[in-house]
Every structure is written in structure tokens, then in C-alpha cells.
Chains A and B, each alone.
Chain A
């Protein structure tokens, strides 16, 4: 089992998404530590991209603030090296295909393996294109995470059957961002996923409240929360880590 499996050994997993360098690297590091101390089981670190086509306005804003603040892929690697001195939970990167490709895919993925990044989530790399990076991910022991969407239908079994690490189930149509209601029939999707793989599955997109988290965690093995955390960074800037800690605790307690 990959290292990512550990995130799912402590009850339902709470997965926290944080954009690196928003508003600066020190705040990101403090936010990650606050999240982990308060029960986050897996950290999803966003490497900013200039044109994040899968993101809603909140995470788009985080990308912009981080890039304006001067974050680069190399600085993100340094941040992870620093975090790995004391953070033991699995960590994955969420970014866009061009960030990996442009850095030199082998160089990027080998560094991921070296510094303790356990997986890679690329929302613009569907099943049909995964060979772009999969052989390198295998070579360096980094799980390439598969996403399943409300529109996946007949594709679910194919995707889940070859998935690694955990299956990322996108709860809703559209881009990332909080939603008041999630109406997708996720139970049916999870059922097909479970028929095709033994690895855990977690639901993300649109989850912000403890009630939603509880509901989604009942359906799956964990929940992924991004925009609600980014909102705290947007609001409190470098004072956000304490608020993030409290928020993560409330969410982990709820699930």
C-alpha cells in the first residue's frame, strides 16, 4: 500500500488543501502545521498556476496572490523540505500539467520522490493522458491521483480500476468553491468505485461546513476541503494559521 493509505487509518480522513505561497511561504508552513496539529490526515499543497482552469474565484485569488508574492516551483520544493522536518502525514501536490511538464517532468517527479511528496493531483490530466507522467510517477514512487466527476458515468470503472493512492471524487459540476447544497448522487458513484478498487476514496469540491463534511464522510473514506480554508487565508492573511487550526479541528471532529 502506498504511503497515502496511512491518511485513511485514523477514521475518516480530513484532507486540507492549501495554496503554497498565499500570501507567503511562512504563512503556508504555519497553516500546514496548524492543520496537521488539529487533525488533518493528508495535506494537499497547491502549486500556483497562472491560469487555473478548474478553480473557482476563491482559489483563483489564492493563485494570484501567491504568484504576485513571488512563489516558484523551486520555492515550493524548499517549503516541503522544511515541512518534512516535522510533518509526518502524507502530502500531495495539486497543480496543472504545465507546471510539471515545463519544469521537466522527470526532474519534477524525481524531486517529489526525494522530498517526501506522496502523490500528484493534476486536474487537467484525464485518464486518456495519464501516460504523460505515469511511468515517471511509478519510477519515483509518487502516486498519480485519479479524479472522477459527476459526468464520468461509464468511465468510473475504467478510472477506478487503475487508480492509485486514493480516488478523488469531484462532488459537483463546475469549478472548485463552496456550495450550499451538493446534489450529485455520490452514493452510486462511490458504489461503482468500490466495486473496482480497494483503495480509499475521498470527496472534494464544494464542501465547507461540518454538516456537509459529516454527510460526505458517511458516503466515502474522507473529505477534501480547499476553498473554505483559502477563505481564511484571504481574510486573515498571516494571522490565518490559528483560524485554520480551529476550523480543521471542527471539521475533523464532525467526521
Chain B
């Protein structure tokens, strides 16, 4: 069996045209991952440019209001560019630069990964092209402008459902046509090996910091770590250093859209089954004949029909739980966190906040929950206003 497996999941199900490119990437990554100079440069970028370590904030009002477990928020929303996406992008852009690549291409859903990639490209003087579903360019118009401002070309993808999965397909097609100078900066822990591993390693800084920060504040491990899951990069980043700590519950919150009993959902673990797509074996929302489902979520960043292979494996092992959260629950959590803590989370992250609102009251006050707030919610304000029946102009 091929490399890059998490249990039965993962692998490299891609056209032959791309095989040497992923092999070259894997070799480069193996060369640099433990290289002190590479890690020093990345560390410096994380610290001075992205603003790491991100804060771990005790949400006191929320904790009191829910009346149960103590809630901490891991503030990835405070990173430069406003989300966890920058962690992975700085790592991959630096790697691409070392590999002699001069051009970055990326897919984006909510636009956060696209903005992060455009940012790194500007910083490192690289060309940048971002593929974004046409529907998402409308839902996330502000981010489209940000990417263009940063010097990236944004290509609206009109095929299929014109959302994240189609942006991934189009970025893959572009990569097969131009490999020699181009690195595909994949935004989540998905796609063919070595991407799920590379992206996870660059995002693992989140759980490394959580562990140290909770130890410092509480002198122990947290009881629950939770995060939203689309492809699953902020979640795997939040889980990774706790996987061996069996006492820590790991909870991934999937986008249920209008509900897991409706076709308008993107909850892969709840409604998908095993398949092969976008370079990997994992769980996918699909019909009886293996046609990929046109999934839906209010959140453009979670609107993806699959889940990263390592999450699929953690699910198989029973090491992590995956729960569906509806649009309505996420919107309520979005509003709740804004009023309760003065923090406007990304609608993606609000899915994790929503589930914490369900479980925290049932837990005793000596328990600790960490919620990763993967991004900030400014980008979502117009869409949430619209959801609530209010038209605002950005």
C-alpha cells in the first residue's frame, strides 16, 4: 500500500502527471522539517509576523452564564490575517521558496486560506493565484477584495456547485498544467500525501501552545478540546499533541447545514461513507453511485463533502468524536459569543462554540474545555445579517 496512510485512509489518488510533484514535495519536506535553519526562519515568521503564540483566553462570562465547565478560547482569530490558516501557509510558502518555486496556487472556501496565501506570496515575493467557488466569491466578497489588494489573482470557479470542492478540483487541474515553477499550497489536512501530514505538522503549533498554556494556568491537561471541522486543519492542529493523552476528549464539530436529515448538510462523518476523492481515501458525502454530493453549509469554510484522512482515522479508532452543528445553532453561537465575550468568531468557529454551549452546562465546574476560535468573524457579518433578514452593504 502507498505512503501517507492513517489506518486505511489517506494515500495518493492523483493523476500520474502530479506524482513526481508530490514526491518532490515529500522529499523537500523531509529535508527541511528537522532543519534548524528552516525551523528558525519559520519560528521567526510565526512570532514576529503572524503574532504567535496566540492567546489562551479564559471566557469568564461565558463560563458563568453556562454554569458548568470552565471555558478557554484558543484565539487563532488574533493571528495575522485573522485565522489559523496563516500557520500552514507560512510553512508551505517557506518550503516552496526553498524548493525554488516562484508561484503559489491555492483553493479557498471562506477566503481565509486564500487571504493567507496571498499574504505569504506578497511577503515572499511570489506570484499567487487563488481559486474560489463563484458562490463563495459572493458570500465572501470582502476576502476577494483583500486577496486582490495583496496582489493575488482570484479566479471564480463556476463548475459544479461553485463552492470549495470545485475550487479544490480547479486548483488541482491548474497544478497538472503547470508544475515546474508552481507549488499548490493546499489549505487543509486533505488531498494526497504528503499534504495531510505537512498541513497537520504546521498547524500542530496550536495544540502545542494549548498544552503549555493550560498547564501554566491550571497546572494540568484540559478535559475537552474542541474545534470546527471542514477538511479539518484547525481541528487536527488543536488535537494533535493531545492524541496520546487519552483522558482528553477531542471533539470535532461538523457543519450540519439545515440538518443531517436533510440533503442540505456538509456533515461528513454523520452522513458520508468511505470513498476516494481529491487524492485521498476518507469519508465523503456521496450518493449510492459514488457521485460526490453537492453539500451545503452557511459556512463557506466548512462547505466541503469530505474530511481529512487523519480525522477519518481518529473517528475509526474512537479517539475523537465528531458531532453535527446546524446553521441555526452556529448563528446563535456567533451572536452569543459577540454579546457574552465581545468576540466575533468566524461562522466556522461558531460551530465549535455552539457545541460547547450544549456540553459545558452538563459538565462540573472543575472541568476544563478549550474551544479553538479558528478565525475572526468580520468576514461573516454581512452573511449573518442576511440570514437574520437584514441587508447591509459592506
Contact = CB atoms under 8 A, between A and B. Distances in A.
Contact of B279 (A73, A124, A148): A124
Nearest to A122: B13
A159 B275 contact: no
A167 to B, nearest CB: 11
A124 B19 contact: no
Nearest to A153: B20
Nearest to B174: A174
Contacts of A67: 291
A125 interface: yes
A74 B288 CA distance: 11
Contacts of B277: 51, 96, 98
For chain B, which range describes its interface: under 10, 10 to 19, 20 to 34, or 35 or more residues? 35 or more
Interface stretch (B121-129, B175-183, B218-226, B323-331): B175-183
Contacts of A232: none
B173 A53 contact: yes
Contacts of A131: 1
A83 B18 CA distance: 35
A247 B17 CA distance: 29
Contacts of B1: 131
Interface in B161-179: 165-166, 169, 172-173, 176-179
A124 B173 CA distance: 12
A67 B288 CA distance: 13
Interface string B252-291: 0000000000000000000001111111000010101111
Nearest to B20: A151
Contact of B178 (A96, A127, A173): A173
Interface string A31-52: 0000000000000000001110
A69 to B, nearest CB: 13
A136 to B, nearest CB: 14
B345 interface: no
B16 interface: yes
B7 interface: no
Contacts of B18: 151
Nearest to B178: A173
B9 to A, nearest CB: 13
Given A126-B19, A129-B13, A153-B20, A53 B169 contact: yes
Interface string B147-168: 0000000000001100001100
B21 interface: yes
Interface stretch (A99-107, A222-230, A236-244): A99-107
Contacts of A152: 16, 19-20
A146 to B, nearest CB: 8
B12 interface: yes
A148 B19 CA distance: 10
Interface in B133-157: none
A159 B275 CA distance: 25
Interface in B190-244: none
Nearest to B4: A128
B176 A173 contact: yes
A255 interface: no
Contacts of B274: 101
Contact of B176 (A54, A126, A132, A155): A54
B21 A151 contact: yes
Contact of B169 (A51, A101, A174): A51
A62 B288 CA distance: 21
A72 B19 contact: no
B275 A102 contact: yes
Identify the interface centre among A126, A153, A159: most chain B CB within 10 Å of its CB: A126
Interface in A93-129: 96-103, 123-129
A108 B177 CA distance: 31
Interface string B64-106: 0000000000000000000000000000000000000000000
B3 A151 contact: no
Contacts of A148: 16
A174 B177 contact: yes
Contacts of B169: 51, 53
Nearest to B274: A101
Given A53-B278, A101-B276, A149 B292 contact: no
A150 interface: yes
B289 A124 contact: no
Interface in B22-39: none
B286 A53 contact: no
A175 interface: yes
B389 interface: no
Given A128-B19, A175-B176, 13 more contacts: A56-B173, A98-B277, A123-B15, A124-B14, A126-B13, A126-B15, A127-B16, A128-B2, A151-B18, A151-B21, A153-B20, A173-B177, A174-B17
